[in-house]
Amino acid sequence: MSTVSTLQLTTAVERIPGVGSRRAGALRRLGLRCVADLLRHLPQRYERELGERTVEEAATQGADAILTIAGEVETIRMSRGRKARFEATVRDETGTTLLTWFNAPWLRGKLHPGQRIRATGKMKRYGEWLQMVNPRWEVIEEDPVEVADGDAPRDGRLRPIYPASEDVSSAVIELAVGAILEPALRLVDDHLTDAYRAERELPPLADAYRKIHRPADEAEAAGARRRLAFDELLMLQLGVMLKRAHRRETQRAPALVANASIDEHIAGRLPFTLTASQREVIDEIAGDLTTPVPMNRLLQGDVGAGKTAVALYAMLLAVASEHQAALMAPTELLAEQHFATIDGMLAGSSVRLGLLTGSMRAAQRRELLERLETGEIDILMGTHALLTETVRFRRLALVVVDEQHRFGVHQRATLRAKGGGEETQTVEIPHTLVMTATPIPRTLSLTVFGDLDVSTIRHLPPGRRPAVTRHLSEAQAVRAYEFARSRIARGEQAFIVVPVIDESETGLKDITTHLKHLETGPFAGCRLAALHGRLDRDERDEIMGRFRDGQLDALVATTVIEVGVDVPRATVMIIEHADRFGLAQLHQLRGRIGRGARRGVCVLVADPTTEDAEARIAAIAGTTDGFEIAERDLEIRGPGELFGAKQSGMAPFFAARLPRDTELLRLARRDAIEWVARSPRLSDEPDALLRKRLLKAHGQWLGLGDVG
């Protein structure tokens, strides 16, 4: 056993007084390996312990209070069955109350009528009855020296409840934290100066840790949490801003020209007048493209907002300045669709387009790549195949990535390195524009994607209206099918979306069985096909092509259709088991219909069984605003899960919670921007500790190793 005086922040949990090897193992499995880990393991909430109360007082405290009752056991009762329950009534001078233990057969023979006991636990209400559930208890010895809960004042103490596991309870973690807290706090240095903290009304770091583990009251706990949350947000923001400053120092992109005559020329090419929303984002993009600082911009706009025209405009700016542009789509089909659309718009112009596909013959491909390298192609379209080594541009100025709603951070990195250029201090790279229809919630766009500039198309082009969305129960599904049939009879088309491919024990409709059922039943006589991710790419493209050309009436599909495909005659979408899909996904899916003249109708078929699922169905039926949906999604799922922030290796937040801490985030962001402007490498002496901790938390995933 180690003594307190030799304790370090890196001391292993095994060596903490009172933690044996079994408990240490359990702590390690929770990710708590050393003293510092314990310090950072924050309570998820607190329970107020009221100390000893009479039965009468306990009754007035109501449910959820934690208190101690001392009295004599009057009766005991053991119920049989799988969930053996043990009950005892305890009487003091003011009344009688019931204690209940679930799954506690070992209590038999331990507790007898006539014993005086002290029981501590939470009061719960069952109907009219208040009772204490699963209390801790002890027998009061014959000669009761009054030891009534010395450390629990009458107004109660806040007891921390820690994230725990089956092997190690919150109470054990509390003990372990208690054993190290004071000596460990003496070792905690603050990376923020007194002056800075005073200005922000933040407590010292050691204070914050003390008060979050052992708060005197709620206000102390909240103040401590605010400091720790601010630290996390500040570190992240500083990391992102350092990265940005570093990029600006070491990377250059071609500065393009934009002026009124070029604008007139480009706008004149488009078959419609750009909306004010599109104009606004084009101005932002053009502002970036005309400087040598590489653009790193996200263009978000709901499905059908008209992002393609904006991308085309930007690419034509590159062409007007005698540079090349590339447009990358997530699927071959989408790349082809872009090619067809853009080829149509540019008919008769001198802009030379190329489409690189996987199905090209070798000779064709070679010829295309040659023309690309000699600069005879102005705009190249394709899938991720554009990222391969053999694809070399002559003067690539802009890369547009379409429908990037699962952020492949890594992929973007490869792409950005593709500029070529001379061996100089600074690297020449193209500008990047990433487009998405899944908006990043505002709060999140300030964090992980803080080094992206964001442009938003806020309104749909005239005449485009979001799909009407209705919810039907499983039993009413047949009405949806009838409706779809009536639309098909008028020459329109339908999607029927299912959540799974295979038959499974879950009892969900799988795609093959469901296709058969629909073909022979509700859709007899219609032309149906199934589309899913297990088909190989050629098969998928072939089926999708037939659907687009009107040779199929309905597609029974998984979410493979989620992205981008434009089929103007598809006006109906039926989503089976809609409660199984995420919010953003549902919104994305219904964006696939009503892309022509007629308004789309989306029917959600679902019998939601949880409150959460019900809320999701209500949200999606109730709003067509992608931004609102994204914020709701963030609330429900938490930021880690969205956009693969976890996979990116970003240090997790222990204290900060978004969107709850948005205000704190704003403050941290503002400070970080100022800080990095003042000290682009955080190399000033007072920043040394901050810098060290920052690099530890975010250096790797942000690639900040070379910032020093």
User: Which residues lie near ligand ADP (CB under 6 A)?
Assistant: 272-275, 278, 301, 303-309, 437, 461, 464, 566
The answer to whether 83 and 25 have CB atoms below 8 angstroms apart is: no
Q: Indicate the residue among 305 and 327 with the shorter CB distance to ligand ADP.
A: 305
Spatial separation of the C-alpha atoms in residues 655 and 163, rounded to whole Å:
13
Q: Indicate the residue among 232 and 403 with the shorter CB distance to ligand ADP.
A: 403
Cα dihedral 414, 418, 419, 423, rounded to 10, equals 90
**125-139 as b/e: b if 16+ CB within 10 A:** eeeeebbbeebebee
* Beta carbon of residue 649, minimum distance to ligand ADP (angstroms, whole number): 31
Q: Indicate the residue among 309 and 379 with the shorter CB distance to ligand ADP.
A: 309
Spatial separation of the C-alpha atoms in residues 651 and 695, rounded to whole Å:
11
Spatial separation of the C-alpha atoms in residues 357 and 664, rounded to whole Å:
47
Across the strands, what pairs with 476? Answer: none
Q: Indicate the residue among 340 and 688 with the shorter CB distance to ligand ADP.
A: 340
Is the bond preceding 183 in cis, omega lying within 30 degrees of 0? no
Tokens 């999140």 — which residue?
A: 444
* Beta carbon of residue 560, minimum distance to ligand ADP (angstroms, whole number): 17
Spatial separation of the C-alpha atoms in residues 179 and 284, rounded to whole Å:
56
* Beta carbon of residue 296, minimum distance to ligand ADP (angstroms, whole number): 20
Q: Indicate the residue among 214 and 269 with the shorter CB distance to ligand ADP.
A: 269
Spatial separation of the C-alpha atoms in residues 418 and 414, rounded to whole Å:
7
* Beta carbon of residue 436, minimum distance to ligand ADP (angstroms, whole number): 9
Nearest to 209, CA basis, from 35, 66, 48: 35
Q: Indicate the residue among 305 and 325 with the shorter CB distance to ligand ADP.
A: 305
Contacts of 89 (CB under 8 A, 6+ apart): 73, 74, 75, 96, 97, 98, 99
Spatial separation of the C-alpha atoms in residues 590 and 469, rounded to whole Å:
8
Q: Indicate the residue among 301 and 354 with the shorter CB distance to ligand ADP.
A: 301
Q: Indicate the residue among 149 and 566 with the shorter CB distance to ligand ADP.
A: 566
- Phi, psi (deg, nearest 5) at residue 507: 80, 10
* Beta carbon of residue 570, minimum distance to ligand ADP (angstroms, whole number): 13
Q: Indicate the residue among 478 and 597 with the shorter CB distance to ligand ADP.
A: 597
Q: Indicate the residue among 237 and 404 with the shorter CB distance to ligand ADP.
A: 404
* Beta carbon of residue 434, minimum distance to ligand ADP (angstroms, whole number): 13
* Beta carbon of residue 272, minimum distance to ligand ADP (angstroms, whole number): 4
* Beta carbon of residue 360, minimum distance to ligand ADP (angstroms, whole number): 25
| Backbone angle region of 507, left / alpha / beta, with phi > 0 → left and psi within -120 to 50 → alpha | left
The answer to whether 428 and 394 have CB atoms below 8 angstroms apart is: no
Nearest to 495, CA basis, from 438, 569, 421: 569
* Beta carbon of residue 330, minimum distance to ligand ADP (angstroms, whole number): 12
* Beta carbon of residue 464, minimum distance to ligand ADP (angstroms, whole number): 6
Spatial separation of the C-alpha atoms in residues 55 and 60, rounded to whole Å:
9
